[in-house]
């Protein structure tokens, strides 16, 4: 089916976390997001492009649902190779770097947030180059 009108774009992701302050700092450092709003149990972080990440604090005893239905990972796009390298360095400095891989001209940096949720940053983005196959890593997140 061909889309003939402007397509939808993802605006926000909601992520449940255990430690709101720790997770807020992580996403500020790694992705360069800014805190727009906070409450005692939630924070809204925004990117320069207007993308939004809602962090919702749960009890440390809450179920971690990455093995079931629901969001397993969010893949972010760095605006430049230099910014992707910065993300990789921050993940390494935090002891959160998992892997860096180049496939079909895309560089993928993968880390793990303080809650064990995969955090993936790529360059270039899907608007700059087309990927021709499903990356195998989606089957292991």
Would the pLDDT of 18 be above 70? yes
- Cα-trace Rg, the chain: 15
pLDDT at residue 2, as a whole number: 60
CA–CA dist 90, 47 (Å, integer): 17
Would the pLDDT of 141 be above 80? no
**Can you give the residue ranges of every domain in the chain?**
12-60+73-139
Where is 74: in which H helix or E strand?
strand 74-77
Report whether CATH 3.30.460.10 matches the domain 12-60+73-139: no
pLDDT at residue 70, as a whole number: 63
Would the pLDDT of 7 be above 90? no
pLDDT at residue 34, as a whole number: 97
Give the angle subtended at the CA of 72 by the CAs of 61 and 58, to the nearest 5°. 25
Mean pLDDT confidence for 31-36: 96
pLDDT at residue 74, as a whole number: 81
For 77-99, the pLDDT digits (tens) are 999 999 999 999 999 999 999 99
What's the DSSP call for residue 73? -
Q: Per-residue DSSP letters for 8-57?
A: P---EEEEEES-HHHHHHHHHHHH--EEEEE-SSEEEEE-TTS-EEEEEE
Confidence bin at 134 (pLDDT 50/70/90): confident
């Amino acid at each position: 089916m061909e889309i003939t009108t402007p397509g939808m774009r993802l605006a926000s992701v909601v992520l449940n976390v255990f430690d709101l302050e720790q997770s807020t700092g992580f996403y500020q450092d790694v992705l360069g997001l800014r805190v727009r709003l906070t409450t005692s149990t939630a924070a809204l972080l925004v990117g320069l492009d207007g993308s939004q990440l809602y962090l919702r604090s749960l009890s440390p005893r809450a179920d971690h649902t990455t093995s079931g239905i629901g969001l397993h990972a969010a893949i972010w796009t760095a605006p430049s190779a230099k910014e992707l390298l910065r993300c990789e360095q921050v993940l390494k400095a935090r002891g959160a770097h998992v892997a860096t891989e180049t496939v079909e001209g895309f560089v993928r940096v993968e880390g793990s947030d303080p809650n064990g949720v995969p955090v993936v940053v790529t360059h270039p983005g899907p608007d700059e180059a087309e990927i021709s196959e499903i990356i195998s890593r989606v089957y292991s997140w």
